[in-house]
Amino acid sequence: MPKRDYYEVLGVTRDSSPEELKKAFRKLAVKLHPDRNQDDPQADEKFKEISEAYRVLSDPEQRRRYDRLGHAAFEQSGPGGFDPADFGSFGDVLEGILGDLFAGRRRVRRVGRDLEYELEVRFEEAALGAEKSIRVTRPVPCRRCQGSGAEPGTPVRDCGQCRGTGEVRVQRGFFAASRPCPVCGGRGKRVETPCKDCSGTGMVSEEHELQIRIPAGVADGAVRTVRGAGELGPDGAGDLHITIRVQEHPLFERRGADVLCTIPVSFPQAVLGATLEVPTLEGKVLMKLPPGTQSGKVFRLRGKGIPVYGGMGKGDQLVTILVEVPEKVSREQRRLIEALAREMGTETLPQRASFLDKLKGLFG
């Protein structure tokens, strides 16, 4: 089967920079690495193909030869110039690019799993910051057996499969990798009489209380990570990822660092003006409503919004005025409103007068 073009294999153009080549190879290597595709019988060949392409194109001299002559440039030095025997030196390059994917070149660290937690906070707590106490359940070493998994007084022997190392080596083609031993679960030990409290696992679940700081201005869906607060493992604990869920507020909405609220006022207040009590995140403030305020008018209260995340000032509070029309009126109120309407005419309603003029212009 003819070889595919190396640039096509990596999904890059012929004028790609070395950094673009490296980025493309890393993305494919993570996706196609044999350790992550154990059910694919072609995994070794696919990974070998992208490794071969990157090995050639990442070397300036070999890339020039390939650009000039194609695959024929390497016919005398083996298929594509890629010999599995050379993998030792090229593996150092790959290890630098892929890190822990080449687990066979370094000891596998057995760190505990990360934990997830959703924390619900009030609107004000998210806006202004708060300290919250949460309780998280996570596995910890069993006190009865001191984490050995064996009933006190009974022997703990080395695992016969991994010989006490906790790891086994797996060979796939010319790739070798170390993995936790499937027999002992990576512990390297075998117990004959399991501990009664932990059933031989060496771990029991315990509830822990943690104090979490909610920074001012945190948004709904933000994630706070507490390092080392996850499950415990032989080489350390995982992390705890806390997703912040902000409750809805009955009066306020958020837009960036600004707080939005709507204040209903009566017709007389809108016409004559008034002094309004306006709720803010930090308490009530007085706001003057000028005479003749229209429904939908927005007033800005400077610095009454949400602190910008990172301490770069505060947003504002935007107050929208809603002129409320009575749904029901008494007979006397109706008589007075009709008299007021006759008295006012259209001279005191410039927007309505303008609308009627435009209407006349449209329909003659």
User: pLDDT tens, 46-87?
Assistant: 888 888 889 889 888 889 888 888 888 776 544 444 443 344
- Burial environment of residue 17 by CB neighbours within 10 A (0 to 12, 13 to 18, 19 or more): exposed
For the segment 290-319, the average pLDDT, to the nearest whole number, is: 90
**Most confident region among 32-36, 159-163, 184-188, 220-224 by mean pLDDT:** 220-224
Which residues are within 8 A (CB) of 50 and not within 5 positions of it... i.e. 6 or more apart?
9, 10, 25, 28, 29, 32
Q: Is the pTM value of this prediction over 0.75?
A: no
Q: DSSP state, 266?
A: -
More confident residue, 307 or 112: 307
Range of weakest confidence among 101-105, 150-154, 199-203: 101-105
When pLDDT is averaged across residues 94-99 and rounded to a whole number, the result is 54
Q: Closest Cα to residue 228, out of 208, 243, 200, 245? A: 208
What pLDDT sits at residue 80?
Answer: 43
pLDDT (tens digit, 9 = 90+) per residue, 1-20? 678 899 999 999 999 998 89
Task: For residue 233, count CB atoms less than 10 angstroms from its CB and return exposed for 0-12, middle for 13-18, buried for 19 or more.
Answer: middle
Predicted confidence band of residue 110 (pLDDT cuts 50, 70, 90):
low
Residue 328: CB atoms within 10 A of its CB come to: 6
Report yes or no: 220 and 244 within 8 Å, Cβ to Cβ.
yes
Per-residue pLDDT reduced to its tens digit, 220-241: 999 999 998 888 776 788 899 9
Instruction: Look at residue 115 and tell me whether its pLDDT is greater than 60.
Output: yes
Q: Pairing between strand 203-214 and 130-141? A: antiparallel
114, burial (CB in 10 Å: exposed 0-12, middle 13-18, buried 19+)? middle
Give whole-number Cα distances, 276 to 167, 221, 263, 300, 303, in Å: 72, 34, 9, 14, 18
pLDDT at 104: 44
What residues contact residue 292 under an 8 Å CB cut-off, 6+ apart? 270, 271, 273
Cβ atoms of 337 and 157 within 8 Å: the answer is no
pLDDT at 148: 83
Classify residue 279 by burial, with Cβ atoms within 10 Å: 0-12, 13-18, 19+. Answer: middle
Q: Burial-class residue 166 by CB neighbours within 10 Å (0-12, 13-18, 19+).
A: buried
pLDDT at 324: 92
Q: Is the pLDDT of residue 124 over 50?
A: yes
89 pLDDT exceeds 50? no
Confidence class of residue 349 from pLDDT cuts 50, 70 and 90? low
CA distances from 53 to 5, 40, 57, 73 (A): 8, 21, 6, 13
What would the mean pLDDT of 280-288 be, rounded to a whole number? 94
pLDDT higher than 90, residue 250? yes
Residue 26, classified by CB atoms within 10 Å of its CB into exposed (0-12), middle (13-18) or buried (19+), is: middle
- pLDDT score of 145 more than 70: yes
